[in-house]
Structure 1
Amino acid sequence: MRRIPNRNKNGSFVFMTSKKKARTTVKARIRKLIQNAGAKPAQDLIKQINAVLAGWVNYFRIGNSSRAFSEVPDYTEMKIRTLLTRRKRRRKRSIGWQRWSNEYLYGVLGLYWDWKVLPLKSAESYR
């Protein structure tokens, strides 16, 4: 959390976002889950990943975290697509964006999709 000067008005506003270390930690947990998956069905793996993502998102939801939030789902999608490509024993020309669309990841497999950031309340509402 830090104060940023407001360009349009006098004063400043509070800028709250997750730190780089927090994003790195959640990505490491996702990577570890995927590495230890073995032959586990994709739906079971997604359930475990969803638990990690839901906890992280709910902790950092309030604030100005939309840029930080875009980093984690992009990484998660890439890792899952890479895993599915390896399981189908396809050549790695790409990560699998065409074969496994977002509709498949979020609709069929049920990957966590509640990345909505809640804005901070104004300072007057806390007084």
Structure 2
Amino acid sequence: MLLDRVVKEVNATVRGWVGYFHFRNCTQVLGQVRNHVEQRLITHLRKRHKVRNRMTGYIKFPNRSLYVKYSLYKVPTSAAWTRERTP
């Protein structure tokens, strides 16, 4: 599977999840989601490039490169609104 397709599917899933649950005091939870997505993509890249050492993977694939080079969706860590939307 191409890396672009993997990132595209991850982005779609995370965007949907954030769009549904992004409400009020969600900073801590969304921060955990962001960290999890970053770690899983780094793990995928480590396996793809046969980098065995976890620390070397973090050095070779820093978080910034995940967003710039691989176009990973950056999960917002604060809600844009504080009340529920009413239709």
1:64/1:119 contact within 8 Å kept? no
When normalised by structure 2's length, the TM-score is 0.83
Q: Hey, which of these two has a bigger chunk of helix by percent? A: 2
Name the residue aligned to 2:57.
96
1:106/1:112 contact within 8 Å kept? yes
Q: Structure 1 unaligned segments of length 5 or more: list them.
A: 1-39
Q: For residues 14-64 of structure 1, what are the alpha-carbon distances to aligned partners after superposition, in whole Å with 9 as ceiling and x for unaligned? A: xxxxxxxxxxxxxxxxxxxxxxxxxx1211100000000001111111211
Q: Hey, which of these two has a bigger chunk of strand by percent? A: 1
Structure showing greater radius of gyration is: 1
**Percent same amino acid among aligned pairs?**
27
Alpha-carbon distance between aligned partners in 1 of 2:54 and 2:28, rounded to the nearest angstrom: 28
Runs of 4+ aligned structure 1 residues displaced above 6 Å come to: none
Alpha-carbon distance between aligned partners in 2 of 1:93 and 1:48, rounded to the nearest angstrom: 24
* RMSD between superposed Cα atoms in Å: 1.8
Name the residue aligned to 1:69.
30
Name the residue aligned to 1:107.
68
2:25/2:79 contact within 8 Å kept? yes
The alpha-carbon deviation at position 102 of structure 1 amounts to 1.9
When normalised by structure 1's length, the TM-score is 0.59
Partner amino acid for 1:117?
A
